[in-house]
Amino acid sequence: MFKIGTYLPTKILSNEDLEYLGWSTKKIFAKTGIKQRHITLENETALDLAHKACEDLFFKYQIDKNEVDYILYCTQSPDYNLPNNVSILHKRLNLSNDIPTLEFNQGCSGYIYGLSLSKALINSNLAKKVLLVTSDTYTKYIDNQDRTNKTIFGDGSTATLLTESEVNKFGEFIFGTDGRGAVNLCVNNSGLSKEKITHDGFEDKLFMNGSEIFNFTIETIPTSIEKILEKNKLNFEEINYFLFHQANDFMLEHLREKLNIPKEKFPKFIENTGNTVSSTIPFLINDLNEKKSLKKGDKLLLIGFGVGYSWGTTIIEY
């Protein structure tokens, strides 16, 4: 289950490289739980990463790419406002023109949205093999003097192949949106609107109000977990692994302690990648796969949350 291809850019930005921002290497790690992050080269884009993640998936699992009959692509850092990245990815993969493609902008909850869309497409007989791609390059939006964002975010991409056997293991989903939080994580001047969400000094860069996002997360996530357990008729103790969006270690540990989740049920994959936005959960699942930590019948609670505000959660039986 969960055939996932991945790609991380070859350029690495270590904590030592970021000491010019005024924090020591140890302080950066203590605040974020991150030692290094992968970042794109100047001429490398989210589309490039996505292509390489797909090729990794096909090679690693010996998949005939021509069997793919639907592509879902999640990104918040497209190469162009138009055309969409997924059309160009389709061309690069040299797939049949009969394949429908859909691109959506969803950020940190994007993988959960993509899983639900895949389930709906397959269960309604609109597709048999869905290629779900996540790819973000937030680092291109970050000012070099922005200590908070520069130390947290990294770039990366994943590609997941989903078929009937996988989506039949998906439980019920819960989603939520609170557009009042849109101003707290945004890139100004990134679209066509004349009404800018302005923050002084961040006119065309990524702005994040960390304290407000932290408050939103702490208030929203525990309730969402209660609801998803109830909706799937499961108890807290029946969950084998809680797979959270890998925002930063401070937030993750606060949530883990608040929810009283045992450390052994709360894996992380952030130390050497940073926050890769829509790709953090599939990166985490892939890491557990490679470590052979997951066994048949394990129940995984997945939850993504962030920009929008937007959140989504589900429970999957492995």
User: Catalytic residues, which ones?
Assistant: 108, 245, 275
- The whole-angstrom separation of Cα 101 and Cα 81 is 16
**Beta-strand relationship, 156-162 and 101-104:** unpaired
Whether omega for the bond prior to residue 309 falls within 30 degrees of 0, making it cis, is yes
Whether omega for the bond prior to residue 262 falls within 30 degrees of 0, making it cis, is no
* Residue 194: other Cβ atoms inside 10 A: 4
| Residue labelled with tokens 């969006």 | 245
* Residue 152: other Cβ atoms inside 10 A: 26
- The whole-angstrom separation of Cα 129 and Cα 132 is 10
HSE-up (13 A, CA, CB side) for residue 34: 30
The torsion angles phi and psi of 299, rounded to 5 degrees, stand at -105, 125
Q: Where are the beta strands (DSSP E) in 105-203?
A: 130-136, 156-162, 170-177, 185-187
Q: Which DSSP category does 10 fall into?
A: S
Q: Which DSSP category does 65 fall into?
A: G
> Would you tell me the crossing angle of helices 46-60 and 85-92 to the nearest 10 degrees?
40
- The whole-angstrom separation of Cα 23 and Cα 15 is 9
DSSP per position, 254-307: HHHHHHT--GGG-----TTT-B-GGGHHHHHHHHHHHTT---TT-EEEEEEEET
Q: Which DSSP category does 104 fall into?
A: E
